[in-house]
Structure 1
Amino acid sequence: MTSLSARSRRAGEPEPNPLELLTLTELRRRTSMKWRTYPPDVLPLWVAEMDVPVPGAVARALADAVAVGDTGYPAGTAYAEALNGFARERWAWDGVVAERTAIVPDVMLGIVEVLKLLTGPGDAVIVNSPVYPPFYAFIEHMDRRVVEAPLDPAGRIDPGTLDAAAERATRGGRRAAFLLCNPHNPTGVAHTRDELAAVARLSEARGVRVVADEIHAPLVLPGAEFVPYLSVPGGERGISLMSASKAWNLAGLKAALAVAGPGAAADLARMPEEVSHGPSHLGVIAHAAALRDGGAWLDALLTGLDANRSLLAELLDAHLPGIRHIAPEATYLAWLDCRELGLGDDPAGHFLRHGRVALNDGRDFGTGGAGHVRLNLATSPEVLREAVRRMASTV
């Protein structure tokens, strides 16, 4: 692996694979959660941070802002305009209308604020388990009820299960929302247009409002496509939360957008003005730059993630054939079924104790998560090989 400090890219050269530019020594200098939660002998393949340098377009935009002291409060529609341009180019979708957007601190806090607009205390929020763990924590903290609609064995939305959950959620005439994860974390499923249209029909029939977490939207791998929920028939009353944070590794630069469909514009307009005080101005600058000027970098990343997706499948087949695994269509996360290894409900704990590899505990993702782990693919091939070698040595 070539150290970032030892290489430079000339103008006109193709973007290198961002996953191959940093050494472990360089990565261990980081002070973020991924690299400081566990001791230095642990390989961290857990939380959703990528082992990449800051994209050049983002670094330049931030340097320019700091150089002129542009470090105040966020204002304007630059973020929405950048997302609109990206959506038009990548998804052939023109649904990001600045007047139907609101800037929020990040996707999860934006979800909370949107759910406050659409539901009240004690109302239900439907989730497709296994799903991103903060869905449970944030919903319960805001005094809403979680109603699970588990995914089918292939990790996809089951319409019958979702309909039954919607019936329970709205029983007694109560308001309810469906918190859709699109693409889905942790399974890496990219929901199809037909699947999302079925969600819209079912939700409208049951009177359930759809709030879509689409933070992984730019991270769809070859062989699949991202379909914005608001673009499907019946999705007009939905609200989507989007951000550049996952695709360009900007979680520490806080900013996201709530995007309303035409039928939800009035709901989003009720968002309290003070919510817009939470995002970072530098975060807005960074995210807009990524969406506007970071396309080549993203393409290089997707190529690297696709290669890592194939490499992980080969490594598991060769060294851990007892792990069942459906290759992700999107995200940089792999959902591994370890139940045949006989490690109990917490294989993540086993791999950490005996292999010094940190993975996410599947139980945190709700029903269907026991016996599973989530593995972060956004690292170098060398680290991925070493992690699987360590895991295999423990069984």
Structure 2
Amino acid sequence: MSIIPLEALPLETLQRRSSTKWRTYGSDVLPLFVAETDFPLAPLITSALRTAVELGDTGYTPPDPGVRDAFASFAARRFDWVVDADRVRTTGDVMMGVVEILRAVTAPGDAVVITPPVYPPFTMTVEEAGCRVAPVPLRDTGATWALDLDGIDAALADGARAVLLCNPHNPTGTVHSRETLAALARIAARHGAAVISDEIHAPLVYDDATFTPFLASSAEAAAVGYAVTSPSKAFNLAGLKCAVMVAGDERTAAVVRGLPSEVEWRTGLLGAIASVAALDAASDEWLDALRARLDLNRRLLADLLAAHLPRARYRVPDAGYLAWVDLSAYGWGDDPATRILAEARVAVHHGPQFGPQGAGHVRVNFGCGPEVLTEAIARIGRLVGA
């Protein structure tokens, strides 16, 4: 049965939203920067939130709002991953979970490996945990992006105590293979280091790639790793504050259970209610329709760049709705997003914020209607020769 792609909301409706995407810039700017999407909520989420608001169910989050079991069911159904719900705890968002686990598995001043170009809060989170950043950039193989396992090995041999992994990777959309993840686990185990895997984009892996949860890649990965994830990116729930921290064995589960109770108290009740609805099998049809739309958009973006910015370099991502685009051939400086906003009135994310490897790059959010994406790239294209 063919899947009908999800349709974005009309621009005039979206401009009534009060979130970051729609309140940072004026109405003349097309916002393709922050990771929010332009689609209606999944019906089960809308229904669950409506009921909660009608009941005034806006108090404190209970000890078990159902998220753990809902996530375990979702993982089994979507990723063929067996998760023990007793090894799952909730918190407010993925970066909260990451920083608290980092605090638990490192000492102040320890180095933590990150793999730029990478989501800017990774650097901030490592520093918030009292640690130092040890950058080991991704390798550009010419066909894809890959972890530099030798570089990570060297960084851990030099004293780094943890690896902060992005799987799937933001901003490149790379889905790391099972073999790569298992190799990373072996390296971490040899050095007695932890791996914390941000897997928030996992529900949006496309059919031509295979997502492997880090903890499911090998027995060593389950022993050294932690996964932190949320339905918030796929289902556009970031403002409601709910994420899960997952451990793969009893030793790491003890670390997660030992985190201060306040870490779990930060879970928003509406976030928990919405997450349970998002992770329910009844929302799978909506998720598949979203993936179908994003699949079309990631390919549309390639066509639009070829037509309007033919010197741009872009690899169609394996996952997510974020595109990593190299515009350095146009000579618009290290941070092309600045000129693009000022002259084309399109907001894209600033490449240098993802690390030095982001010079000349922008990150483009294509989680929007095709007409918005088409207009945005056409506007940027008009800067060529201007």
For the aligned pair, the TM-score class normalised by the smaller chain equals: over 0.9
In structure 2, distance between residues paired with 1:113 and 1:272: 9
Question: TM-score, structure 2 length as denominator?
Answer: 0.95
Q: Which amino acid aligns with 1:372?
A: H
Is structure 2 residue 320 aligned with structure 1 residue 331?
A: yes
Q: 1:8 matched to which residue of 2?
A: none
Question: Which ranges of structure 1 fall in alignment gaps of 5 or more residues?
Answer: 1-12, 171-175
Alignment partner of 1:87 out of 75, 88, 101: 75
Q: Select which of 196, 203, 207 maps to 2:188.
A: 203
Aligned pair count reads 376
**1:16 to partner: Cα distance:** 5.3
Superposed, 1:1-395 pairs within 5 Å as 17-18=5-6, 20-75=7-62, 76=64, 78-95=66-83, 97-153=84-140, 154-170=144-160, 176-233=161-218, 234-237=220-223, 238-262=225-249, 263-292=251-280, 293-395=282-384
Structure 1: distance between partners of 2:123 and 2:9: 34
Runs of 4+ aligned residues of structure 1 deviating over 4 Å after TM superposition are 13-16
Q: Distance in 2 between matches of 1:147 and 1:332?
A: 27
Residues 197 and 232 of structure 1 are in contact (CA less than 8 Å); yes or no, is this contact kept in structure 2? yes
* SS of equivalent residue, structure 2 residue 292: helix
Residues 181-204 of structure 1: CA deviation (Å, up to 9, x unaligned) = 000000000111011111101111
Q: In the alignment, residue 149 of structure 2 is paired with which amino acid?
A: P
SS in 1 for 2:290: helix
Equivalent position amino acid for 1:82 in 2: A
Question: Separation in 1 of the partners of 2:31 and 2:120?
Answer: 18
1:294-340 C-alpha deviation (Å, 9 max, x unpaired): 11100000000000011001111122111001110001100001111
Q: 1:21 to 1:342 in 2, by over 3 A?
A: closer
Q: Secondary structure at the match of 1:330?
A: coil
Task: Deviation per CA, 1:152-192: give whole Å up to 9, x if none.
Answer: 1132212112212222334xxxxx11000000000000111
Change over 3 Å in CA distance of 1:187–1:275 after alignment to 2:
same
Between 133-142 and 327-336, report the one with greater CA deviation: 133-142
Q: Secondary structure at the match of 2:17?
A: coil
**2: CA distance between counterparts of 1:266 and 1:101?**
11
Q: Could you report, residue by residue, the CA deviation over 1:12-55 in whole angstroms, capped at 9, with x for unpaired residues?
A: x998533x241111111111101111111111000000011121
Greater shift in the superposed pair: 380-389 or 335-344: 335-344
1:27–1:87 Cα change, 3 Å: same
1:366-392: CA deviation from partner (whole Å, max 9, x where unpaired):
131111100001000000000110010
Q: Provide the rounded CA distance (Å) in 2 between the counterparts of 1:353 and 1:52.
A: 27
Q: Distance in 2 between matches of 1:195 and 1:356?
A: 40
SS at match of 1:287: helix
Mapped contact 2:350–2:362 kept (Cα < 8 A): yes
- Structure 1 counterpart of 2:230, one-letter code: S
8 A contact 1:182–1:213 mirrored in 2: yes
Q: Is the 8 A contact 1:125 1:169 kept in 2?
A: no
| Aligned-partner residue type, residue 272 of structure 2 | V
**Separation (CA, whole Å) in 1 of partners of 2:173 and 2:331:** 25
The answer (yes or no) to whether the contact 2:65–2:272 under 8 Å persists in 1 is: no
CA distance in 1, matches of 2:135, 2:3: 42
CA RMSD of aligned residues (A): 1.5
- SS at 2:125's partner residue? helix
Q: How big is the shift at 1:71?
A: 2.2
Contact 2:105 2:194 in 1 (8 A): yes
CA distance in 2, matches of 1:125, 1:41: 41
Partner of 1:5: none
Q: What is the DSSP-based 3-state SS (H/G/I as helix, E as strand, rest coil) of the residue aligned with 2:168?
A: coil
For residues 36 and 16 of structure 1, the distance between their equivalents in structure 2, rounded to whole angstroms, comes to: 31
Query: Hey, what's the Cα distance between the residues in 1 that align with 2:187 and 2:264?
Result: 32
Contact 2:349 2:364 in 1 (8 A): yes
Deviation at 1:208, TM superposition (A): 1.4
Aligned residue type for 1:258: M
The secondary structure found in structure 2 opposite 1:35 is helix
Displacement of 1:221 in angstroms is 1.2
Identity of matched residues, %: 48
3-state SS of 2:235 partner: coil
User: What is the identity, as a one-letter code, of the residue corresponding to 1:117?
Assistant: A
Residue segments in structure 2 that go unaligned for 5+ positions in a row: none
Distance 1:127 1:103 in 2: 24
Q: Could you tell me how far apart the structure 1 residues matched to 2:312 and 2:153 are?
A: 31
Q: CA deviation at 1:346?
A: 0.9
Q: Which moved more, 1:77-86 or 1:250-259?
A: 77-86
